[in-house]
Chains A and B, each alone.
Chain A
Amino acid sequence: MTGIIGNYEMSLLTMVGITVTFALSLNLITGLCGQISLGHAAFYGAGAYAAAMLTKAGVPFALALLAAAAVAAAIGLVVGLASLRVRHDFLAITTMGVGFLFIGIVRQQDALGGTMGISSIPDPGLGKAGFMALCLASAGVVALFSLYVKRSWMGYAFDSIADDEDTARIVGINVPAYKLAAFAIGTGIAGVAGGLYAHNVGIIDPDSFGFIESITVLAMVVIGGNGSVWGVTVAAVMLSMLPHWFQFIDNYKLLVYGGLVFAVMRFSPGGLAGLFAGGLERLRRARMPS
């Protein structure tokens, strides 16, 4: 494999796979079920810490990834339960608080390495190409799963909750149960992404999972088109490669992402997916003689 693509491309693709997994995990909660989260990096972090602690303690990598999903989903369920009564802006603020709470708690825990974080996380032993393949496969599986969810009756019920949760109740939808399911699935997948991230970089600290990360991943969902699996995938690929292609963007990352989010909200609230659908529609109309 190293003969076909270089080390640099492999690490880039590895990061892309992890980022797409992470972005799609938020898309399940925010895009499909309509529950905004400004603290999604906390679950990414919870998974990263859980997996790193376990592999350092000698637990096999595969088991550690599963545990990362379980830990993140368990925290996600608790946060979800606590957030059931809040909506929209208040949910945004609550989840933002959860993000800060995560950082605050982790910084104070000596067992988690405090502000220094955890270093010398063991290599999963898959080789660079193998690990890249795993991360890309993870992104692919989550994308397929997301598409499946959208087509299932769970996705249908999610649509109704995202649209108008009071009305969802009067067609018999157990709104709290569905929201909790979205939180548990989305945060669990974020935990897997976090576990992959920790073993990719080998060293993690609380600031890797801060507010900026939460905003970045939300930007990917918004720019891609809230709810659109392929739109969010494209946005996550683009936004995770941009800083590598144009070094200067890295210095102005927040500015660029903020600007992009603003442009999307102002000019194409449906994101890339909306732009594409709009373009198709115009094309179709242009072809039809009126």
Chain B
Amino acid sequence: MTALLEVREVRVHFGGVVAVDGVSFDAEQGELLGLIGPNGAGKTTLMRAITGVIRPQSGSIRLAGRDLAGLPTHRRVRLGLGLSQQLVSPFTTMTAVQNVALAAGYRKTGAPLAALIQMRRAPELARARELLELVGVRGLADRLPGDLPLGDLKRVEVARALALDPKLLLLDEPLAGLNHIEAAALADTITALNRDGLTVVLIEHNLGEVMRICSRLVVVDNGRKLAEGPPREVMGEAKVRAAYLGEEVEDAAA
């Protein structure tokens, strides 16, 4: 079986600094994969290489068998890559439901001139309300992002990514900045989406939630893949504990 997302020997350097040094991993259809690593490990750079914001110097990235090399972000999104970024970036001039409906209208926004002859927004607005309900913020549909707390904005962003009918949902630190109750609730929402068949790659710092919800982990450190496998096995490895928790913490725990 070929993986839904295949990352092969991706290498990214900025000048002399190697941010990602030959990382390979797969995300299989239907799994909830956690991509973890300490600060500066290269997770976000790897994510940006997948989304097409930066171009790797070498290596390849395939989505559903299709090479993404050279494709701009919007094309990757249209091939089935749903994204939620680390820093929330709602369209501040649009209500929550309008934010999501714009994404839901991706078939209508493919080309400018085709978009010019499309007027009806009702079906997309209805779909957007369904998705807001799915992620648990239906009541906030008509509010502007400026009025919403971070936890709700993150849910709106997940709904916006889902509106693109993605094959793969790539979430960059969706739990960052949330208190533990909000984080656990959003993690549960992500798990529910995954149970419904959506493949999810979760880049996350919140180790507790990652251990709880992910079916498999890939650990990166210093731009390299350190380990991969089931969460408990991976976190049991000495080199992972050393890299992730740091020598001192491990000594203290011992």
Contact = CB atoms under 8 A, between A and B. Distances in A.
B86 to A, nearest CB: 12
Interface in B30-78: 51, 72-74, 77-78
B89 A173 contact: no
Contacts of A173: 74, 109
Given A164-B89, A166-B89, A154 B77 contact: no
A167 B89 contact: yes
A181 B112 contact: yes
Interface in A155-171: 156-157, 159-160, 162-164, 166-167, 169-171
Interface residues of A, number: 25
A151 B73 contact: no
Given A153-B105, A157-B115, A159-B93, A172 B78 contact: yes
A177 interface: yes
Contact of A177 (B51, B112, B160, B161): B112
A153 B111 CA distance: 10
Given A169-B74, A172-B77, A178-B112, A153 B119 contact: yes
Nearest to B77: A172
B115 A154 contact: yes
A48 to B, nearest CB: 27
A108 interface: no
Contacts of A164: 89, 91-92
A149 interface: yes
B77 A157 contact: no
Contacts of A157: 102, 109, 112, 115
A172 B90 CA distance: 14
Contacts of A166: 89
Given A159-B94, A163-B92, A174 B110 contact: yes
Interface string A45-81: 0000000000000000000000000000000000000
A28 to B, nearest CB: 12
Contacts of A178: 112
Interface in B102-118: 102-103, 105-106, 108-113, 115-118
Given A163-B94, A172-B103, A172-B109, A153 B118 contact: yes
Interface string A75-95: 000000000000000000000
Contacts of A156: 102, 105, 109, 115, 121
B194 interface: no
B113 A181 contact: yes
Nearest to B106: A172
A173 B111 CA distance: 8
Interface in A126-180: 149, 151-154, 156-157, 159-160, 162-164, 166-167, 169-175, 177-178, 180
A171 B99 CA distance: 9
B113 A170 contact: no
Nearest to B103: A171
B220 to A, nearest CB: 23
Contacts of B112: 154, 157, 174, 177-178, 180-181
Interface of B: 51, 72-74, 77-78, 83, 85, 89-94, 102-103, 105-106, 108-113, 115-119, 121, 160-161, 163-164
15 contacts: A151-B119, A152-B119, A153-B105, A153-B118, A156-B109, A164-B89, A164-B91, A169-B72, A170-B85, A171-B102, A171-B106, A171-B163, A172-B164, A175-B74, A177-B111
Given A164-B91, A171-B164, 10 more contacts: A153-B118, A163-B91, A164-B89, A169-B77, A171-B103, A171-B160, A172-B103, A172-B164, A178-B112, A181-B113
